[in-house]
Structure 1
Amino acid sequence: MPPLKILVPDAHLRDLDIERAISGDKLDYIVFDETDPTAIPDEIWRTCDGVLVWHRMKLTADVVAKLDKCRLIVRVGVGHDNVDSAACRRRGIPVSNVPNYGTTEVADHALAMLLYLTRGLGTYEKRLKADLVTGFLAEDAPVVRRIRGGTFGAIGMGRIGTAIALRAAAFDMKVIYVDPYVPEGHELGLGIERVRSQAELLARSDVVSLHVPLSDSTRNIIGAPELAQMKPGSILINVARGGLVDVDALHDALKSGHLAAAGLDVLPKEPPVPAPALVEAWRRDEPWLAGRFVLSPHAAFYSEAGYLDMRTFSAEILLEFLFHGRLRNNVNPGWDARAA
């Protein structure tokens, strides 16, 4: 039997040694480094047996319409808003993601951002680099505070939200959360408090951290009205999806002094070109923002171990479904309704 053809449209110069080692001669990976689907010949879209897509390309309904032979799309990662899952459902194509990698890395990253801000590490480093004598000073650093006893508010209490909540609790913070999709009683097992509304969480929290997928209902879940509801002097952390936060409104909330600080690992447009006002102010190290903002390049998920897990599990999901009919981590239930 000839190998099945797996299209990888946006591999971003990554080798596929890991995937090929797992798949052996069962799968033939056709690799591109593109962000525009039209850069890939239609014939390749129409003849592939599966698609392994990262986060750099959007599989819109027009692209899905070309997938004449495709039996499975695997999103190499957790967030799957770059795949039109509804269009795949209509075509009878299941979509899977890889939720069981990087959880601890993302949780660690969120707490690292919080500690970086509240312990003044960026400010102290900058001062010492400038002058070892006058910079040898603990006082007058923005945001530095005790976090013990503060309230950590998590919007979303899935795998990553839970991991971050446990870490915040270990720092002696009071943890509260809101999540309408988690069954009642989940909070009892964790020993934390569930609140009824996002508005209540925003008003009570010293730190607000986001852990929800991006969808039409969650886009700009934190905009100007929500930032105004946040506690004066509070901190916002987003290691989830960039489209959850209106970064222009965040710029205004920080510049006005209403928010003390923010940490972002994700942005609505990545790379952020042209840069939004907040990112430009950070790049220029404008005095009003210095020490109050930290940005990383959508890297919270990354470690060598997590990267290996993500790629390994993606290849295994393909093999299990294409050769054994076992579907894992499906994110568009009802895809098989046409066959029923």
Structure 2
Amino acid sequence: MPPFILHPDLQSPLPADIEAKVYAGHYEAKAFRPSDFASIPASLWAGASGLVCYHEVTVNAELLDGMPNCRVVVRAGVGFDNIDLKAAGERGIAVCNTPDYGTTDVADHAIALTLGLLRGITAYNRAIMADPQKGWRFEDAPHVRRLSTQVFGVVGLGRIGTAAALRAKALGMRVVFFDPNRTTGTELSLGLERMPSLEALLAISDVVSLHTPLSPETKHMMNAETLAQMKPGSVLINTGRGGCVDLAALTDALMSGHVAAAGLDVLEAEPPAAASALMAAWRADGSPIRDRLIVTPHAAFYSPSSLIDLRSKSAATALNYLLTGDSRDCANRDFLDLAKAGARAAAARA
């Protein structure tokens, strides 16, 4: 069988034509839809030179043990919390992501959620749809505000956070950020204000926009305690990772009115259960948060252009690593280096 790269949960219709074009002359693309995951034969897992996956595959030690020929795992997306970086590194397998495919799309979506709430777009639309006569009232939308009076707080000033911050700044908002990993002087080069802590950012921000990866440090970073630290009447936007927000705590904060509104593109469980606390409170007859919550289906990354970028760039990342043995987007380099050092030490002792 010619060498191939396995795509076990392709999010687009088959065949994997874009990927095949990238690999042409080097590898074949063996692609499956997520619904066919269980039917992928063990021989394909074992024979794959590389793995390109989305969010529906858990890449753990057990899976990797069945892939003895695999040299690289590429996450077709930004977040890689579904991949065990250490287990891959210990087996000499690089893990890479695709960090640049949807930067502008996600930043646009964060701003769109902000505008939808602060300009009353969804509330006006729903009221007029329900009754074109009685709904024709500008004063009935909750929390409409002049953007130039608002502080836009960015948590996580990576690629997407930076793009969102610059968009908010262009709209006339005062933009602050908290990111302990950004070097000193970042605020000067971008014309933003750095906050010394998350608590300090929450205290002054009218809009809090989350742009962090999911990690043990960021898991439920917005919880009952931190939501209570938000400025009363502020808005929470999350286009990052669903697990960064404790939805039960957010439900309480919305219902109490302490958090005025929220725009969520990502949830901890997707799609959400209708009986979950947030969905039940939002969808109830006469719900007080009906016009104070916008939920979109993990769609911030999406545009036809971004899907083409995602597929071509993730495939190119896999191919480049297999051809060169390196990638600037390697996420587990430290574990790989440790594994190589251990192998050298073992060889020296032999």
Same structural fold, with TM-score higher than 0.5 when normalized by the shorter chain:
yes
CA distance in 1 between partners of 2:283 and 2:76 (Å) = 31
1:252 aligns with 2:230: no
Partner of 2:132: 132
**Corresponding residue of 2:298:** 298
Match of 1:102 in 2: 102
Is residue 152–residue 175 contact of structure 2 (8 Å, CA) maintained in 1?
Answer: yes
2:310 maps to which residue?
Answer: 310
What SS does the corresponding residue of 2:5 show, helix, strand or coil?
strand
Task: State the alpha-carbon separation in 2 of the partners of residues 6 and 305 from structure 1.
Answer: 23
Alignment partner, residue 149 of structure 2? 149
What TM-score, normalized by structure 2, do the two folds share? 0.92
Letter paired with 1:9: P
Q: CA contact under 8 A between 1:149 and 1:173: conserved in structure 2?
A: yes
2:176 partner letter: I
Query: What residue is the counterpart of 1:273 in the other structure?
Result: 273
Say whether the 8 Å CA contact 1:147–1:173 is kept in structure 2.
Answer: yes
- Counterpart of 1:4, as a letter, is P
Match of 1:95, SS state, is strand
2:13 aligned residue: 14
Say if 1:331 and 1:182 are closer, same or farther in 2 by CA, change over 3 A: same
Counterpart residue number, 1:337: 338
* Paired residues, number: 339
* 1:282-329 Cα shifts (integer Å, max 9, x gaps): 344643012100000111011111111111111111221212334231
Deviation, structure 1 residue 114: 0.6
Give me the TM-score of the superposition, normalised by structure 1: 0.95
Looking at structure 1, the residues matched to 195 and 285 of structure 2 have their Cα atoms a distance apart, in angstroms, of 37
SS of alignment partner, residue 63 of structure 2: helix
Aligned in 2, Cα 1:121/1:189: closer, same or farther, shift over 3 Å?
same
Q: Which amino acid in the other structure matches residue 253 of structure 1? A: A
- Gap regions ≥5 residues in structure 1: none
Query: Shift of the alpha carbon at 1:61?
Result: 2.2
Contact residue 35 and residue 57 of structure 1 kept, 8 A: no
Structure 1 residue 140, shift from structure 2 partner: 2.0
Deviation at 1:151, TM superposition (A): 0.9
Deviations 1:12-61 (A, max 9, x none): 45321111122124222222233797654333222211101011121122
Match of residue 73 from structure 1: 73
Query: Who is 1:178 aligned against?
Result: 178
Q: Which residue of 2 aligns with 1:229?
A: 229
Structure 2: segments with no counterpart, 5+ residues? 342-350
CA distance in 2, matches of 1:69, 1:285: 56
d(CA) in 2 for partners of 1:88, 1:145:
49
- In structure 2, the residue matched to 1:88 is 88
Residue 139 of structure 1 aligns to a residue in which SS?
A: helix
Inter-partner Cα distance in structure 2 for 1:326 and 1:275: 46
Greater helix content? 2
Deviates more, 1:324-333 or 1:38-47: 38-47
1:73-101 per-position Cα deviation (integer Å, ceiling 9, x unaligned) = 01001011111111111111000111111
Q: Distance in 1 between matches of 2:81 and 2:110?
A: 21
Which residue identity does 1:251 align to in structure 2?
T
Would you say the 8 A contact 1:153–1:201 is kept in 2? yes
Relative to structure 1, the CA distance from residue 126 to residue 261 in structure 2 (aligned partners, 3 Å threshold; closer, same or farther) is same
Match in the other structure for 2:4:
5
- What SS does structure 2 have at the residue aligned with 1:99? coil
Moved over 4 A (4+): 35-39
**Cross-structure match for 1:120:** 120
More displaced 10-residue stretch of structure 1: 14-23 or 32-41:
32-41
CA gap 1:274/1:43 in 2 versus in 1, 3 angstroms: farther
CA distance in 2, matches of 1:317, 1:68: 20
Over 3 Å counting, the alpha-carbon distance change for 1:107 and 1:84 in structure 2 is: same
Distance, in Å, in 1 between the alignment partners of 2:230 and 2:103 is 27
| Counterpart-to-counterpart distance in 2, 1:23 and 1:208 | 41
Deviation at residue 249 of structure 1 after TM alignment: 0.5
- SS of alignment partner, residue 201 of structure 2: helix
Q: Mark the CA change 1:286 to 1:67 in structure 2 (over 3 Å): closer, same or farther.
A: farther
Report the aligned-residue RMSD.
1.7
What does the per-residue CA deviation read over 1:123-148, in whole Å, with 9 as the maximum and x for residues that have no partner?
11111112222111101211211221
Report the Cα distance in structure 2 between the residues aligned to 1:30 and 1:160, rounded to whole angstroms. Answer: 31
